[in-house]
Chains A and B, each alone.
Chain A
Amino acid sequence: MAATTVAQFDGHDAVAVRYHDVDPVYAETRDIRLLGFVLFLVSDCVFFGAFIFAYLYLRVSAPTWPPVLNGHQLPWFDTAFAALNSVVLFGSGVTMHFALENWKHLNRRKFTSWLIATIVLGIGFLLGQAHEYSLVLKDVSWWGTTMGASFFTLTGLHGFHVFVGVIYLTTLLIQTNRGVYTGSKYFGLTAGTLYWHFVDVIWVALFFLFYLW
């Protein structure tokens, strides 16, 4: 096997050794995995996209929006809390970015702190969504109207993606603790970061479509 240089964590702000330069075999494997993961995210976009199409179709063809149920028009969603919760989620995206940057600069402790911050903010978002659901469910149910149908389906699927993301990030925390990733081989971290950003950006679309439009 050709010699590979594994970057050591020594606390200095050195940049990780570029694997392309020392381990072209790993570089190819990583490229394959990266393309596969990005294509998975593209297909996940279509997954949300088709439901968003359904929501647009139902909303545009409805005689009034919010729709009328049992003679009363349903209330609009509350934008203020959603705006705060959105900022929490976007904040977690930025903290995850910092986490990965620190890993690349071989700052293991800072990586761990930023990753924990991301997980905490992610859980915060989920708790915020739970609170939002408890408020919305007072007036709007999943099965009563197309408003509930589209809102709970889309935000529910998104929340599920966030939940899976939190699990994945926690797994990364455990794995980095065990030394699974090195300064030059850390594809799991890259994938986790991309997934987390993706989940963020889907929320931008949903926040706009349900709360701002």
Chain B
Amino acid sequence: MMTPELLEKSLAFVGAIIVGVTAIVQLRNDWAAKGLDAVVTKLLLGLMAVGCVLALLAAINVVGVHHAS
């Protein structure tokens, strides 16, 4: 049964993999680049990849599942 929630999670899962892998590949390609803008770009790309990991974990219910406390 494809509920909206399941659709959202599936799309998030697939998207997170695509975007995250691409971000990491780009990060590796640019690793040697020098200069302030390159350093900042590498840092931010890395953090974006972390974001993709979080989104992936959220999509498969490993994190972000809350019950009222």
Contacts and interface: CB of A to CB of B under 8 A. Distances in A.
Q: Do A and B touch directly, given a CB cutoff of 8 Å in the complex?
A: yes
Interface of A: 31, 34-35, 38, 41, 64-66, 73, 75-76, 78-84, 86-88, 90-91, 93-94, 97-98, 101, 190, 193-194, 197-198, 200-201, 203-204, 207-208, 211-212
B55 A90 contact: yes
B22 A65 contact: no
A94 B20 CA distance: 9
B12 A197 contact: no
B22 A94 contact: yes
A94 B19 contact: yes
A206 B16 CA distance: 17
A78 B26 CA distance: 31
Contacts of A79: 58, 64-66
Contact of A197 (B48, B58, B66): B48
Nearest to B14: A87
A83 B26 contact: no
Contacts of A197: 40-41, 44-45, 48
B63 A66 contact: no
B36 interface: yes
User: Which 10 interchain pairs have the tightest Cβ spacing?
Assistant: A204-B51, A87-B15, A79-B64, A197-B44, A83-B12, A76-B66, A83-B58, A84-B12, A80-B8, A212-B64
A94 B8 CA distance: 20
